[in-house]
Structure 1
Amino acid sequence: MDDARTQMARQFIEHLPHCAALGMSLEQIGDGQAEILMPYAEKLIGDPETGVIHGGAISALMDTCAGAAVMSHPRAGISTATLDLRIDYMRAAKPGTTITAHAICYHVTRAVAFVRVSATDGASDVPVAAATGAFTVERGAS
């Protein structure tokens, strides 16, 4: 069952134009975790010879998923923004596969939330990419 915070985060993510443009779909969210899928699409190809998805699309997926995890964390604020996101690309995603990002917000301070994210395609035990990030915690007026 979704609480009000999780529902607000779900609605926000589902209405972002870049999510729609990249074909992202929010699969799970709550308690500081989120999972977003991005199906393979020709418009996302970065290398026409191999059909591999562009790293920018993968980074957008991971950033969005991390922000969703922060928004759903019980100790986080009403909104968030990326302060820092370090992504390590480990291998090319297999052409034709859906990429799944899973994010965990593992620590929240008064002003900053810390997140880990992985992106997988189901074709290998090795992730496509892994990231760590820091995000703002904006609580609004008290």
Structure 2
Amino acid sequence: MKQEMVNNPEFQTLLTQVLEEKIPFCHLLGVKVASLDPDRPRLQFDMREELLGNFAQGMLHGGVIASVLDSVAGIAILLKMAALHPKEDVFSQLREFGLMSTIDLRIDYLQPGKGASFTANAEVTRLGKRVANVLMDLRNEKNERIATGAAAFMLHGRT
């Protein structure tokens, strides 16, 4: 019988390592896993000088915001697939991450990206056989909404 994958400690540990250490761009941004809740995963990162887009105003670069929202969307899809369609083993489940790609990403920048730390979360709104849709949100440590996003991902090889 398949163990519930999303609560499998090995799966959670390896997924965290993949995101925080194995994906070079996420590592560069300093992204950390805050929650692997399959209904609303959260990623966090701290403001650093290297992430500034407007150095005079101390605001996050828009590309950082888009990248983190894209990343949390991918994690949300992987967790939803693990919850609804668990694989036989942890490594087969993690391979699903490599079989998805962003096909549409929309970001609404609501206010300047100012803050000391930021949290991104996502919710899968549709998990189809070939396409998944996700809504995302980025807030600072004061819980001020900085940006929202919507994405569609192609699920390659899913049947």
User: TM-score category by the smaller chain?
Assistant: 0.7 to 0.9
Q: How many residues are matched?
A: 139
Instruction: Give the aligned residue type for 1:98.
Output: S
Higher share of residues assigned helix: 2
Query: What TM-score, normalized to structure 1?
Result: 0.85
| Residue in structure 1 matching 2:7, options 2, 7, 14 | 2
Equivalent position of 1:93 in the other structure: 113
Q: Does 1:120 align with 2:139?
A: yes
Unaligned runs of 5+ in 1: none
Query: What TM-score, normalized to structure 2?
Result: 0.77
Judge conservation of contact 1:89–1:130 (CA < 8 Å) in 2: yes
Equivalent position of 1:22 in the other structure: 29
| Residue in structure 1 matching 2:63, options 26, 46, 56 | 56
Identity over aligned pairs, percent: 25
Judge conservation of contact 1:104–1:117 (CA < 8 Å) in 2: yes
RMSD: 2.3
SS in 1 for 2:7: coil
Equivalent position of 1:132 in the other structure: 150
Judge conservation of contact 2:19–2:27 (CA < 8 Å) in 1: no
| Residue in structure 1 matching 2:45, options 34, 38, 41 | 38
SS in 2 for 1:33: coil
| Residue in structure 2 matching 1:72, options 67, 75, 79 | 79
Larger Rg, first or second structure (1 or 2): 2
